[in-house]
Chain A
Amino acid sequence: MKNSITKNTYSYYYLLPAIIIYTTFFIVPTLISFFFSLTRWTLFDWEFIGLKNFINFFQESSLNIGLRNTLIYASMTSGLKVILGLLIAVFLCSGIRTKNYLRAVIFFPALVSTMAVGAIFKALMNPTRGPINQVLTAIGIEGPSWLGNPDLALFSVIFVDVWKGVGIATVIYIAGLMSIPPHYYEACDVDGGNSFQKFTHITLPLVRPAMNAVIILSLVGGLKSFDIIWAMTGGGPGFASDVLASVVYKQYINGFYGLATAGNVILLILIAIIAFPLYRFLSRGEVEY
């Protein structure tokens, strides 16, 4: 009786649209990408060339810089969001009256589209007339070319990414902090603990689930990042701020479809060897008091 209820009530028909759409538009392309990454490909015709695309990717400096920059970009943006988000959240939860207001302000950039943020900061970072350098000039510092200097461009974009994304990290942390029962802190007070001890012994371990979510979310987002880089530097100057996703796009518009697909596969493998084990590792380390 129960079984027949299950079968009839929770019919697979409900799952069917999802299966069709997701299989056609995501699973199939992902699976065939492994094959086409091993070919020279024009969409209509392909020629099997083995691992040549991958060898190209690792040997040619204009391609492997994308891999290097992706790792720098993902680790720095997620590292900064993890740390700054926690600091801001602790600050906002310290009992100040403007908490809700500040939270709304810090979160707002998350809703502005990446292209809009890119346009605003491209202007702010203009080397000669941009407000950032105008302010620096006024206090006697000669501002650098934020997006034109090859050693600096990637880090300028990283800054903007953090500016846009730290609000999401902050609100996740705030939710984590609010779920810590206040009597833990009271107990610490009774035992004569100072605020640093409260932070390291109560806040830090108990905010771990929130921190893990921030780490995974921002790391995976950072590895896939494309929009903000393409809007602000287009991967330049030269290839100085290219990441995997922008290399894929460049190969795609130049018609190197096999190479572009190999770039996609490398990104997938990167996520598989970094994000999945990390996710496992982090969810094991969560504590309960």
Chain B
Amino acid sequence: MNRKAKIRLIMYDILGIVLSGVIFFVPIYFLLITSFKNVKEAYRMELSFPEQLNIIENFKEVLSVQNGIVLRAFLNSFIITAFAVTGLVLVCSMAGFVIQRRKNKLTGLWNMVILVGLMVPPAIVPTIWVLNSLNIYGTIPSMILLEIAFFFPFSTLMYKGFMKTIPRELDEAAILDGCGRIRLFFQIIFPLLRPVNITIIVLTTVFIYGDFMNPLYFLPGPRNATVQLTLFNFIGQYSSEWNLLFADVVMVTIPPLILYLFLNKRIIRGMVAGSLKE
């Protein structure tokens, strides 16, 4: 590489760092410093560093507001996310297994259903009507089942795509050796799905934890609040106490941030695989 090209690349590096700093770091920086300030200082919304650090007080106050609704919301969000993600991994890996291995009218139909379901949004009030008829509207288990249903097309498609790379001969060999169909799936196939399992776990965790619209409709009431719902209510309630609102934003953002710090390559690769595999 000649000198001119080298200099140009370094200029690009600098340009990229400056631009990304202004566009992506400033909002995050603003979020952090504001969550550390006291009410008065936060109200001025300046980009300056806090004169007085109020970190612990702010976070304590957010946690104690409305009898600790934020803690409750964290608990609800964790329960919903954990069960829905576990359910998705089980239900969709099994579905992907049969749909990929067995080609007939029924599995062809479900292939279609999955492709359509990937794009079509849920019909809100009819879903509530169904939940009401089953007497489970507004319960946490119903929210878990709904999240499984909403992320079923995406997850199954990922499993189906990956299942292609596991040779069928493996199944036949195992069966001929006397392996039952339950052992075949759970002891031979499922462990081989590890990469796609991790992708699905990480992606659906981020999506379901961050879901706002579905709990808004299907999980009303303060006892069932999720973190995103409390965050939304705070946006309305604390429009002049930005330090508290932002302290909540920081807390809500910490779990996905931790995931990202440890798994950022895998998350990015998973997102790419999920969207390119149609």
Contacts and interface: CB of A to CB of B under 8 A. Distances in A.
Contact of A96 (B16, B24, B216, B264): B16
B45 A129 contact: yes
A10 B249 contact: no
B49 interface: no
A231 B267 CA distance: 26
A91 B275 CA distance: 22
Interface residues of B, number: 93
Interface of B: 9, 12-13, 16-17, 20, 23-28, 30-31, 34, 43-47, 90-92, 94-95, 97-99, 101-102, 106-107, 110, 113, 117, 119-130, 132, 134, 145-146, 148-150, 152, 156, 171-172, 175, 181, 184-185, 206, 209-210, 212-213, 216-217, 227-228, 231-232, 234-235, 242, 245-246, 249, 252-253, 256-257, 259-260, 264, 267-268, 271-272, 275-276, 278
A172 B125 contact: no
B55 to A, nearest CB: 18
Contacts of B184: 9
Interface centre among B27, B46, B119 (most CB of A within 10 A): B119
Nearest to A103: B268
A104 B264 contact: yes
A78 interface: no
Contacts of A289: none
A231 B234 CA distance: 11
B91 A18 contact: yes
A112 to B, nearest CB: 6
Given A10-B101, A103-B268, A131 B30 contact: yes
Interface in A251-289: 252, 257, 260-261, 264-265, 267-268, 271-272, 275-276, 279, 283
Contact of B256 (A97, A113, A131): A113
Name, among B98, B152, B227, the residue most crowded by chain A CB atoms within 10 Å (CB to CB).
B98
Give the interface SS of chain B, mostly helix, strand, loop or mixed.
Answer: helix
B214 to A, nearest CB: 10
A105 interface: yes
Interface stretch (A56-64, A185-193, A219-227): A219-227
Interface of A: 5-6, 8-12, 14-15, 17-19, 21-22, 24-30, 32-33, 36, 41, 43, 91-92, 94-98, 102-116, 118-124, 126, 129-131, 134, 163, 168, 171-172, 174-176, 209-210, 213-214, 216-217, 220, 224, 226-227, 230-231, 245, 248-249, 252, 257, 260-261, 264-265, 267-268, 271-272, 275-276, 279, 283
5 contacts: A24-B145, A106-B20, A113-B209, A123-B45, A131-B47
Nearest to A264: B123
B179 to A, nearest CB: 9
Given A105-B20, A108-B260, A123 B213 contact: no
